[in-house]
Chains A and B, each alone.
Chain A
Amino acid sequence: MTTMTPPPDPGEAAPRRLEPQFADLARQEHAVRLGMWVFLGSEVLLFAGLFALYAAYRTEYSADFTAALHHQNLLIGTANTFVLIISSFTVAWAIHRLRHGDRRACLVFLAITMVLGALFLAFKAIEYGDHFAHGVVPGRGYASAELPARGARVFFNLYFLMTGLHALHMIGGLAVMGWLVTRVARRRATPAYHAELEMGGLYWHLVDSVWIFLWPLFYLTG
């Protein structure tokens, strides 16, 4: 059902996307990729501040953090880790297929990525709902009967901040994926030039990487 022959792109489509300040498309792509990495570096440092806070508070409230970790939903957290790792693969595979001219497979794998991303958010919503039902909420309303300690409250404040910021990035990533689907479907992103797809993929992998660290910090008991 898949036709493996690359769709013959109109030859002028790619050069039209060359911005005048660049000598050629290769240079432009290098610049776009470097720019994206610098942007990702900036994003990572946004999270790094929160990781530093986590490390500092964990040093201060070691016992409270361990107690709070035992009340986390390990099943959902672990399932979400698997979901995101698989989604990272699917987006990488989508780009790989497009590089080889297989536009259809690219679209399929982008769609799978979006489904996995939505699944992650759905799990996250269930988990938040469960927390709220037990009085574990961010800020003033915190009223957990099982974990009344100050340190536990700090733990959950950080938990909501870090997973919340991560979830916002997931929503952003889903929007990017949706946009990329239209770019590929309309043949704006072609096997010859699809920098936006590469950049969207990089962003998705970054969000995945952040979660890879959030998982041991907020779910795995030491």
Chain B
Amino acid sequence: MTSTASYLTAGRGLRSWLFTRDHKRIGILFLIGTSGALFVGGVFALLLRLELLTPGETIMGALDYNRLFTQHGIVMVFLFMVPAIPGVFGNFFLPIMLGAEDVAFPRLNLASFYAYAIGSAIVLAALFAGGVDTGWTFYTPYSTSSLTAVATAAFGVFVIGLSSIFTGINFVVTTHTLRARGMGWMDIPLFVWSIYATAIIQVLATPVLGLSLLLVAVDHAWGLGIFDPAQGGDPILFQHLFWFYSHPAVYIMVLPAMGVVSEVVCTFAHNRPFSYTAIALSSLGIAFIGFLSWGHHLFVSGMSVLDAGVFGILSMFVAIFSAIKVFTWTATLRGGRITFTTPMFYFFGFMFLFVFGGMTGVAVATSSLDVHWHDTYFVVAHFHFIMVGGTLTAFLAALHYWFPKMFGRVYSEKWGIIGATMVILGFAFTFTPQFLLGNAGMPRRYFSYPAEFQWLNVLSTAGASILGLGMAITLGYLVYALFRGAPAEDNPWRSRGFEWRTPTPPPLHNFAGQPEMVPGAYDYHVADHHDHDDPAS
């Protein structure tokens, strides 16, 4: 093989994929895995919405419903959202954006994929071995006494956690040691900044989740009673450990999304970010403050009132850093030449959902208000707006934005915009009624509800159907484009990003020869010979 052969054709056959050390191929493996998880979790979600179409039993009873919402949560959080953007696009583009040939530890990177695959298989096996009915949060003491396959599922999530740690180590070290010659910290693309901040959280928080799940599994097996009040344990301590990971995990999901959004807005506004420094450093700010706010999940669990107040205030600081980003993205549009493409549609969807979800987040961080909303559909709607509305829209934005580079094919822009519109509107339709339901007092995690809540539930299920259809359409035209799409140019969006300066699809070692890093990744104000074919210049 020659050094200029595309990574897709350098090496053929299944073995060359399963034992690859190429970060791009590992990214594609993660794409297959996480997309499969998204599909499974999405089917679960539609079944849940179908059950909630009418009060009382519609298609399943209470026990099946408990298992199904648990599996929906576990699959979506641990199999899709946490690994999706870092695993797929982080793997594929972080080294290219740094001008590196690969990540620092390619074998560890492959091990990361296999830890993900094996962990996912264990989690899905738990589903068939009776399921899990504790909710994805595995709260004690119920989780240590539930007769369902809690220990198996917890172990599976533990193994996926290893994958997350391996990926995090790789990204931190790659960013530190493999930047192209002359590339300083303030020259690296914004996507890399956010993936770097994410990697720090992955490395520092995931072991604590691993520990708390391990304790649940050990407790389940040997009756340690470490969190069982009947045996002197304190269940709130489990919640502390669990949320020490799982709150920052929200930023594991949304920081990479913010990185994608930063790239997309600069490319399609053809403009420099309003403030590179503000976006880059607020990522680190979010990563840090994210570790100081876990207590807001425990407001009604019986935690100290003073602690609750402190955690509430610290949680609101997240909104400051998030707002810095939102205003900077908006200001980036000003004076730009905006192109309305599918990724840009997802950008606007992201902005709406993220701001709305973030504002309600400040509301529920107020401990007195949280007493009213806790464990209602208000909270469900809030975190779906942030986590799914943020992560899923950014995942789809990234998939469309980088699709030509990754596969060397062009998808249909017309169908792309139809799909994006359906996904965003369907999503808003699904969860806006749930804010109203929660505020009216409908508790989460019940298969039934009083009849007066039905009209809002019907609206929500209708929205979920539109969302599901939009996702199906998206899957359809992307798979079509994968095989039948027209060949893509090297730089179809006229972006200044480093990843667009390499052939499409990239060669095995990312660049043919020495990567060219001047002008910078956002220097739209500087004339460049790459723009010679730009019709607007």
Contacts and interface: CB of A to CB of B under 8 A. Distances in A.
B207 A43 contact: yes
Given A34-B173, A34-B177, A46 B104 contact: no
B240 A52 contact: yes
Interface string A117-145: 00000000000000000000011100000
Given A20-B102, A21-B101, A53-B237, A38 B223 contact: no
Contacts of A49: 207-208, 211-212, 241, 244
Interface in B165-180: 165, 168-170, 172-173, 176-178
Interface stretch (A56-64, A75-83, A94-102, A211-219): A56-64
A42 B204 CA distance: 5
Contacts of B234: 56-57, 60
A153 B212 contact: no
Interface in B282-318: none
Interface string B188-225: 00000000000000011111101110010010001111
A192 interface: no
B207 A139 contact: no
Interface in B368-385: none
Contact of A31 (B176, B205, B211, B218): B176
B208 A150 contact: no
A21 B232 contact: no
B474 to A, nearest CB: 34
Contacts of B509: 20
Contact of B223 (A19, A42, A140, A158): A140
Interface in B417-461: none
A161 B241 CA distance: 16
A43 B172 CA distance: 16
Interface residues of B, number: 43
A50 interface: yes
A173 to B, nearest CB: 18
B224 A138 contact: yes
Contact of B226 (A19, A22, A161): A161
Nearest to A23: B181
Contacts of A174: none
A138 B108 CA distance: 35
A21 B173 contact: no
B237 A35 contact: no
A45 B208 contact: yes
Contacts of B176: 31, 34
B211 A46 contact: yes
A128 to B, nearest CB: 15
B231 interface: yes
A27 B244 CA distance: 34
- Output the residue of A21, A22, A61 with the most chain B CB within 10 A: A21
- Output the residue of B102, B108, B222, B232 with the most chain A CB within 10 A: B232
B226 A157 contact: yes
A154 interface: yes
A164 B173 CA distance: 31
B226 A53 contact: yes
Given A31-B176, A31-B177, A151-B232, A42 B207 contact: yes
A157 to B, nearest CB: 5
Nearest to B164: A42
B103 A21 contact: yes
A154 B232 contact: yes
B41 to A, nearest CB: 27
Nearest to A56: B237
Contacts of A139: 222-225
Contacts of B212: 49
B100 interface: yes
Contacts of B207: 42-43, 45-46, 49
Contacts of A4: none
A38 B203 contact: yes
B105 interface: yes
Contacts of A19: 106
A27 B180 CA distance: 12
Given A27-B177, A38-B203, A157 B224 contact: yes
Nearest to B108: A35
A220 B177 CA distance: 43
Contacts of B11: none
Contacts of B241: 49, 52-53
Contacts of A154: 226, 232-233
A138 B224 CA distance: 6
Contacts of B100: 21
B156 to A, nearest CB: 18
Nearest to A27: B177
B186 to A, nearest CB: 20
Given A30-B177, A49-B208, A139-B225, A150 B237 contact: no
A150 B231 contact: yes
7 contacts: A21-B104, A34-B172, A42-B168, A50-B211, A139-B224, A154-B232, A157-B224
Closest 5 CB pairs of A and B: A150-B232, A46-B207, A140-B223, A49-B211, A139-B222
